[in-house]
Amino acid sequence: MNYWLVKSEPDVYSWEDLVKDKKTTWDGVRNFQARNNLKAMKKGDLAFFYYSNEGKAIVAMVEISKEAFPDPKDANWVAVEIKPKTLLKNPVSLATIKADKKLATMALVTNSRLSVQPVKPEEFDYILALSEK
DNA sequence: GCCAACGTTGGC
DNA sequence: GCCAACGTTGGC
């Protein structure tokens, strides 16, 4: 089981949209590092759903429901399918993550532009605990 | 193969 | 809305 983090701008595609759609194709990733991460995803893996620009916080958890397949819009790239898992009790903001020494090594902090990134199991658990507060 | 120019992302 | 950081492209 691996853990991930995917970014979305809430005006473009929000958690509410995902809940409404039941599942969605996570495509449009045009970055090699992010593509490699998509390819490494396994069915059943969990990922945080992060709002960039507006919100700047981890708001929910999603599940990978289909492993990497060619991006329907461009076969040189790949997409996965995700479905909603749970909405966090409280969002965990970027400011909180940056301020926490345990999370300072997350790609979200060190490589803020990467749109699909791995999360360590201990980071995943720790953030979940933070969201319960 | 280097690097300048350009485009895009995302925090502020 | 601005701009810094990063990734990609293309000329040499």
- pLDDT tens column, A34-81: 999 999 999 999 999 999 989 999 999 999 999 999 988 888 889 999
pLDDT over 90 (residue A3): yes
Question: Whole-number Å distance, CA A63 to C1' B2?
Answer: 42
Predicted local confidence at residue A74, as pLDDT: 82
Predicted local confidence at residue A125, as pLDDT: 96
Would strands A116-119 and A46-51 be described as parallel, antiparallel, or unpaired?
A: unpaired
Strand B footprint at Cβ < 7 Å? A 7, 9, 30, 52-53, 56, 94-95, 98, 108, 112-115
The residue-averaged pLDDT of A85-104 equals 95
Predicted local confidence at residue A72, as pLDDT: 85
Predicted local confidence at residue A76, as pLDDT: 81
pLDDT over 90 (residue A133): no
The answer to whether A36 CB is within 7 Å of strand C is no
Q: Which of the four pLDDT bands, split at 50, 70 and 90, describes residue A116?
A: very high
- A57-71 sheet: strands from edge to edge: A24-26, A74-93, A57-71, A46-51, A3-8, A116-119
Predicted local confidence at residue A37, as pLDDT: 94
pLDDT over 90 (residue A24): yes
Question: Whole-number Å distance, CA A89 to C1' C7?
Answer: 35
Report percent pLDDT > 70 for chain A: 100
Residue A99 three-state SS: helix
